[in-house]
Amino acid sequence: MKNERLSLKEILKEMDPLETCYGSVEQLLSRYRTCPLCGSNLHFTHLTDFSHSITQEIAKCPECKVKVRDHMHKLQ
């Protein structure tokens, strides 16, 4: 299988919606910033493609060594 570049339409189609937001601001930020497995602070990486106006956000746990989130965000 050869590696092909996805079109912008395909990229936007594969974007994961943000998790359902509920609870207080403190609860939301705590869930967003901490690992659901061990409770450690997550490390974030952001890769931006300005030509397609999208940013890829990757959240990894330094303790568990797992990728917790990998989302594409459309820039407005």
C-alpha 31/C-alpha 15 separation (Å) is 20
Domains contained in the chain, number: 1
Residue type, 52: H
| Token reading at 18 | 């943000």
Given the structure tokens 């989302």, which residue do they identify? 71
pLDDT at position 49: 92
Residue-wise pLDDT for 5-30, tens only, equals: 655 555 545 444 455 567 788 888 88
Residue-wise pLDDT for 38-73, tens only, equals: 889 999 999 999 998 999 999 999 998 888 888 888
In a domain, 23, yes or no: no
In a domain, 65, yes or no: yes
pLDDT at position 47: 94
| Token reading at 7 | 């079109």
Query: What is the domain range of residue 74?
Result: 42-76
